[in-house]
Amino acid sequence: MLLLRTAGFLILLAFLVCMALYTLTGQPVWRQRAMVPVKWGLVLLMAFAAIWVLRRAALV
């Protein structure tokens, strides 16, 4: 779980940096690059949810 949380923090940080660069420069390439961490963040969220469900199922 610590690994997933760390990866989530790094993905959020990458998104924020890309959006800050987009805001500062106005170049649309940074907005496109910001979507990559969003996609990986969704994959990470699904993995986190799957682990959470499997842990709950193990308790029942």
Start-to-end CA span in the chain (Å) = 20
Rounded to two decimals, the pTM is: 0.78
Nearest 5°: phi and psi at 26? 80, 5
Give the single-character DSSP code of 35: H
**Which pLDDT does position 4 carry in this prediction?**
82
Which pLDDT value is given to residue 46?
94
pLDDT score recorded for residue 37: 95
What is the DSSP secondary structure assignment for residue 27, as one 8-state letter? -
Q: What single-letter amino acid sits at 44?
A: L
How many folded domains does the chain comprise? 1
- Tens of pLDDT, residues 9-42: 999 999 999 999 999 999 999 999 999 999 999 9
Give the residue numbers spanning the domain of 47.
Answer: 2-59
Provide the pLDDT confidence category of residue 58 given band limits of 50, 70 and 90. confident
Is residue 1's pLDDT more than 90? Answer: no
In the chain, the amino acid numbered 16 is: L
Distance, CA of 6 to CA of 14 (rounded, Å) = 12
